[in-house]
Structure 1
């Protein structure tokens, strides 16, 4: 191989390592939460075991709007997602008395379900907002995704035996084992990794590259949104009270105009005013492209104001890219493949972070920075898992009538993850890893048993996944404990390992 090519590979390997390291723990959290978000409706359903009623989408939305019209004060808008085969409640975002709320509404009564929780929405928001205020969380997630894309591309260039290493794994070989695992996880679903990273960047394009919007529209964001969705109807508040017209006929008319396709989301802007607008969106489950069309109605009279379907090639391309990332179109098997690909990307990041430390330990004693990173790896990686398990436990154990119950669940998740990070920093890694992963394994098993105790076998699929995760983690813990008790072998001379 020519010196120039070998030198280029070394530069790419250096860039691959550093781009993966700098925001590696943020990337791990993003990918872990995004992987769980593939089953956001199913997680939400598990976390609301009392909500067992079902209703047709039209009837459920009608019940929800009826309840909202009677129980909200000075609301500016209701943003509803209709139930489907995966979710039986109506997801509702609305404001009342100046406070914005997110609730799951019963599809029959329209009232909030007994167990207030964000459900799977927590993982979905954590994936791209990182529980930080707008826009800082999204900006950090966008920067991390950009680094992830650079790491993937440089990893491909630096990898000399990308197809051979697909089939190579040598256990109990120290650095070589970690490198084999990292390579195999990265290569086996490389097309998915590239797709999900690139499409994730595109979804945040307005934050990544705001200059075209500024150049064309300046500070007039309303004009920009109108250009992107010319079928949207925006009317100022008339400040004249008027009841909302029966919404069921509007929804049926929208379904007819959609060609029989199920309705997805329903927005009611200025409810209770003569300028109210009801906008109905086609369900995203029937096509890859996200929100291909919408129909708007006069909220006070029920007449059609706008019937619009996106046909512009650039916007259809964007909608398709966005839909590929969200995967709402994916049927059962493809959804599990998305989950598997996300899990492999998450493990690729985790093994890369561990490999950084293992590689340097075999060369020489670790520096202070790398010793800190070694401990941070244990705390951050296990902490994300432990926080998620604590979130499920909080959902089952907190009193149903606790004020701000959903916020309390999230707080418990974040505090548990933070305590795990501190424990990882305080304990030796050989102690921290089995201790924290053992707690996660016990937590998964306990959450599954709590789930079975409350809802029986109604949500058995998630309980089974939790039990499988507990078993897999416990096997890892047992192996770590055995390695800790084994006599230390004399250090062998280091053999060079190449990526």
Structure 2
């Protein structure tokens, strides 16, 4: 005969279940809010470092000079395996060379103009992308949260069969929380396509990375780049023997002549200053969701092939479209403003969901002032902690620990919110 589960155990299990739900809801709120702010990642970089040189375009020869100058400054440092040149585009009219150890802005003439200092903007993106955790752990959690958001969308629609019929119906506010529930449901309907797109692409980006690590560990001796090779282009055979800098100017000149309709956004050097080096040029295609096409060149600047992201297999094109669709970088300022509007609505949905849940428990006679106060702390504390981390950037510079500032401030807001709520109940 089986032994019945003790009532105390059931109560603890329910509390644990509720705590897990609250943590998931809190992380979804943080991810939604930071994703909304990160829509303006490029603009935030310009605010964070307003003195960096800007230009509408940069000549291929100037890019070549900049690459060679940055590589010369790497003498005595660990060998750089990849070098990236961000080329000026409308949203970010700056030329920047990034290696494994540094990032340098370039002048229009190709001379080094000083280090890139956008640590706060990068912190914001990492907070959204990995919750400032180690990459594999953080991106796994965020990918799972994307799946959870999809499940919440589906279950929410199924649980409310009149949700579309009542899409514009708002009942009067009263003490039973129907007003808040109506706003939650209406916003959910109005933003449904956006939410599905964001949740699906977020889940794909996060869990695809996890799958790539798993496949690499099982089949490619841990080489993740080999997993992505069939999609984004394979790495060449390494040859560590020294060689002069590759002819990036020639590759850029070829792009301008052969693909004048393509907007070149990046030049990537693989294993620079070795005989195994090669160059990839990334080009954006107008009216396409793909983030760009990869064009491969040899060290002499000779064109070899494209990866097929713009015209290859459907899976390749779909993979290359998830990033722009998720971050809203495919249609200029109007699309960014729309993403901010929908992102604010999604953030409100994530925040009000827990208030509705707490209200239902209160109506059943379960008073939880500490949880309600802690949730107040989270809702108010997240944007406040973001703002304080930016103030730390202004006061302390690029080297401040923005993650520590954010998480400590947010934790303090949650704890103080819970304590104040419990004290108010005790005093009443």
- TM normalised by structure 1 equals 0.72
Is the contact made by 1:270 and 1:276 (CA closer than 8 Å) also made in structure 2? yes
Aligned residues: 399
Match of 2:15 in 1: none
Q: Secondary structure at the match of 1:79?
A: strand
Q: Secondary structure at the match of 2:112?
A: coil
Is the contact made by 1:281 and 1:295 (CA closer than 8 Å) also made in structure 2? no
Residues 253 and 155 from structure 1, CA distance in 2 versus in 1: closer, same or farther, beyond 3 angstroms? same
Of residues 408, 412, 422 in structure 1, which corresponds to 2:405? 412
Match of 2:206 in 1: 204
Match of 2:345 in 1: 344
Match of 2:155 in 1: 154
Deviation per CA, 1:204-228: give whole Å up to 9, x if none.
2424656994799464645433333
Match of 2:294 in 1: 293
Deviation per CA, 1:225-267: give whole Å up to 9, x if none.
33334x4342313322x33145323212123333431111221
Match of 2:394 in 1: 396
Gaps spanning 5+ residues in structure 1: where? Answer: 1-16, 400-404, 432-487, 489-499
Match of 1:442 in 2: none
Give the whole-Å Cα distance in 1 for the aligned partners of 2:259 and 2:423: 59
Offset of residue 410 of structure 1: 4.0
Is the contact made by 2:173 and 2:180 (CA closer than 8 Å) also made in structure 1? no
Offset of residue 309 of structure 1: 2.8
Deviation per CA, 1:366-414: give whole Å up to 9, x if none.
1xxx444313212222222012111221222225xxxxx3443443333
Give the whole-Å Cα distance in 1 for the aligned partners of 2:389 and 2:285: 28
Match of 2:84 in 1: 79
Higher mean alpha-carbon deviation, 186-195 vs 267-276, is at 267-276
Deviation per CA, 1:123-154: give whole Å up to 9, x if none.
22211211000211011111111111111100
Deviation per CA, 1:77-130: give whole Å up to 9, x if none.
21232221111334554223xxxx4x4624435536467232433222211211
Gaps spanning 5+ residues in structure 2: where? Answer: 1-17
Give the whole-Å Cα distance in 2 for the aligned partners of 1:207 and 1:188: 31
Give the whole-Å Cα distance in 1 for the aligned partners of 2:372 and 2:277: 57
Residues 211 and 78 from structure 1, CA distance in 2 versus in 1: closer, same or farther, beyond 3 angstroms? closer
Output aligned runs, 1:297-446, within 5 Å.
297-298=298-299, 301-310=300-309, 311-366=312-367, 370-399=368-397, 405-428=398-421
Match of 1:65 in 2: 67
Is the contact made by 2:291 and 2:323 (CA closer than 8 Å) also made in structure 1? yes
- TM normalised by structure 2 equals 0.83
Is the contact made by 1:261 and 1:282 (CA closer than 8 Å) also made in structure 2? yes
1:105 aligns with 2:102: no
Match of 1:180 in 2: 182
1:225 aligns with 2:219: no
Give the whole-Å Cα distance in 2 for the aligned partners of 1:29 and 1:203: 18
Residues 19 and 168 from structure 1, CA distance in 2 versus in 1: closer, same or farther, beyond 3 angstroms? farther
Give the whole-Å Cα distance in 2 for the aligned partners of 1:276 and 1:94: 14
Match of 1:192 in 2: 194
Give the whole-Å Cα distance in 2 for the aligned partners of 1:22 and 1:196: 20
RMSD, aligned CA: 3.1
Give the whole-Å Cα distance in 2 for the aligned partners of 1:95 and 1:246: 20
Is the contact made by 2:381 and 2:410 (CA closer than 8 Å) also made in structure 1? yes
Offset of residue 330 of structure 1: 1.8
Give the whole-Å Cα distance in 2 for the aligned partners of 1:416 and 1:91: 33
Higher mean alpha-carbon deviation, 190-199 vs 390-399, is at 390-399
Offset of residue 47 of structure 1: 0.9
Offset of residue 54 of structure 1: 2.0
Offset of residue 29 of structure 1: 0.9
Residues 309 and 254 from structure 1, CA distance in 2 versus in 1: closer, same or farther, beyond 3 angstroms? farther
